[in-house]
Amino acid sequence: MRLHLCAVGRLRTGPERALIDDYTTRFDRSGRALSLGPLSTHEVEDKRGGGMAAEAELLARAVPAGALMVTLDERGALVSSPDFATMLARWRDEGRQDLAFVIGGADGIDPGLRARADASLSFGKMVWPHMLVRVMLCEQLYRAASILAGAPYHRA
């Protein structure tokens, strides 16, 4: 199952980029044997200043046709890392070819796009900067692959 990170904004060189690259590499290596990955990133930018609605249109175009769409949103479900791993495995085992994680911009995800999502996840009740959400998602993907592989990375 191919994974896609569809996000508003361009990530520049810096600590967030280094972490994302590290966790993506780890995920791609460990996920391959589990039929998970690769993880690709699709960045969009609303250069015209159309707000959340314009961002939603760009994000919707970035999601591959037929992909299961999961939004990262403060109103989403709170799940544990093992439960997240189980979700990934279930979607893979159901024969999903593509899974797209959608991260909005500074104002979040347009309600219309959020309503079209197959699932919505939250990293807690606090609001996180969208660039940090990318880092957290990549780490959780690697952690999920480690859990599914029985590797010792996750200690719970």
- CATH code of 121's domain: 3.40.1280.10
User: For the chain, what is the radius of gyration of the CA atoms?
Assistant: 15
Report which of 141, 118, 134, 119 is spatially closest to residue 31, judged by C-alpha positions: 141
For position 156, what pLDDT does the model report? 67
Please give the structure tokens belonging to residue 147.
């859990």
> What pLDDT, in 10s, does the model give residues 51-64?
999 999 999 999 99
Residue 130 banded pLDDT, cuts 50, 70, 90: confident
**Residue 70 belongs to a domain:** yes
Both structure tokens of 63: 């999601």
Identify the pLDDT of residue 145.
Answer: 98
Task: Flag whether pLDDT at 79 surpasses 80.
Answer: yes
**Average pLDDT of the segment spanning 104-114:** 94
Q: Which positions ≥6 away from 73 have C-beta within 8 Å?
A: 104, 108, 109, 114, 120, 121, 122
The tally of domains found in the chain comes to 1
Q: Is residue 127 part of a domain?
A: yes
Taking 90 as the threshold, does the pLDDT of residue 48 lie above it? no
User: Is residue 155 assigned to a domain?
Assistant: no
- pLDDT > 90 in the chain, percent: 86
Range of the domain at 37: 2-149
Residue 7 lies in a domain: yes
* Position 156 in a domain: no
Claim: this prediction has a pTM higher than 0.75 = yes
Among 13-17, 46-50, 103-107, where is mean pLDDT lowest? 46-50
Query: In the block, which residue shows the tokens 């999961």?
Result: 70
